[in-house]
C-alpha cells in the first residue's frame, strides 16, 4: 500500500502486507507508530471486536482494490452482480469510471494470490458467502454497518474507503496520515513495475489512459535498475 506522500512515483506496496500485519500486531495497549501515531487500547479493542462481517468486508475491499488498481469511486460503485468467478480467478465489471464518462465499461481480471491470507479472490468469496447468509445476493457490494453491526442497504462512501485504508495502516504500525484510498491504486502500479510487468499490462489492469502517468511510477521504480553509476569503480 503506497503512502500518499509518494502517490507520485515510488509508492511502495502492496497493501496485503499491511492487512496481514494488522491482524498480527493489534494489541490491547498502545503501540507507537511512525510519526508519533499511537494505537490506543481502545482502538485495538475496537479492532478486535469489529463485527466479523466488517472484517471480511474490509479485507475484500483492500485486497480487491489493490489487485485491480481500482479507484475508490469504482470500488464503492460495484454491485454483487458485477462479479463472476471463473477457473482463472475473478472477473470484475467496471460499469463506469473517471476516464469512462460514456459508461462503455470494462472487465478486469483478478488472479488468485499465492498466499491464502492475501488472496483477493478468496477474500471476496468469503465476504460474498457472509452476505449470502444474510440473504444479500444483489445490489451494492460494499455496504456500511450500523453501530450494532447490522448491514445497511446503502453503499460505502468514497471517504469510507480512505478510512478503511488508514485503519489498516494504523493497525500495521504505520502512520495513517501517509495513506489514503489512492494508495491501493498507486501500490499496484509500483508493485507491478517491480515485478517486471509491462506498461500496457499495467494500464490494462488499472484503466489508466495516460502512458505518461504510469511511466512516472515505472521510472521511479527503475531508478537503480541498471544504473549507469553502478560498477564503474567508485
Give the active site residues. Answer: 71, 98, 182, 185, 208, 217
Q: What are phi and psi of 128, to 5 degrees?
A: -65, -40
Q: How far is CA 153 from CA 101, 131, 145, 158, 161, in A?
A: 26, 12, 9, 16, 17
Q: What are phi and psi of 2, to 5 degrees?
A: -90, 135
SS (H, E, C) 101-161: CCCCCEEEEECCCCCHHHCHHHHHHHHHHHHHHCCCCCCECCCCECCCCCECCCCCCHHHH
- Rounded Cα–Cα distance for residues 7 and 231 (Å): 31
Amino acid at each position: 500500500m503506497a503512502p500518499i506522500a509518494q502517490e507520485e512515483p515510488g509508492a511502495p506496496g502492496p497493501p496485503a502486507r499491511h492487512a496481514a500485519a494488522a491482524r498480527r500486531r493489534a494489541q490491547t495497549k498502545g503501540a507507537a507508530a511512525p510519526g508519533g501515531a499511537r494505537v490506543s487500547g481502545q482502538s485495538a479493542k475496537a479492532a478486535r471486536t469489529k463485527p466479523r462481517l466488517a472484517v471480511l468486508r474490509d479485507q475484500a475491499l483492500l485486497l480487491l482494490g489493490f489487485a485491480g488498481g481500482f479507484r475508490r469511486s469504482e470500488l464503492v460503485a460495484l454491485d454483487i452482480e458485477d462479479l463472476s468467478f471463473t477457473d482463472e480467478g475473478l472477473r470484475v465489471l467496471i460499469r463506469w469510471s473517471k476516464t469512462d464518462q460514456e459508461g462503455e465499461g470494462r472487465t478486469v481480471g483478478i488472479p488468485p494470490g499465492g498466499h491464502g491470507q492475501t488472496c483477493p479472490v478468496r477474500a471476496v468469496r468469503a465476504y460474498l458467502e457472509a452476505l449470502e447468509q444474510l440473504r444479500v445476493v444483489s445490489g451494492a457490494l460494499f455496504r456500511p454497518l450500523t453501530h450494532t453491526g447490522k448491514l445497511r442497504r446503502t453503499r460505502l462512501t468514497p471517504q469510507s474507503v480512505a478510512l478503511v485504508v488508514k485503519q489498516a495502516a494504523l493497525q500495521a504500525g504505520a502512520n495513517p496520515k501517509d495513506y489514503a484510498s489512492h494508495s491501493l491504486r498507486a501500490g499496484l502500479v509500483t508493485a507491478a513495475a517491480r515485478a517486471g510487468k509491462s506498461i500496457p499490462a499495467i494500464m490494462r489492469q488499472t484503466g489508466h489512459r495516460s502512458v505518461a502517468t504510469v511511466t512516472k511510477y515505472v521510472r521511479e521504480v527503475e531508478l537503480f535498475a541498471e544504473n549507469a553509476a553502478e560498477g564503474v569503480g567508485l
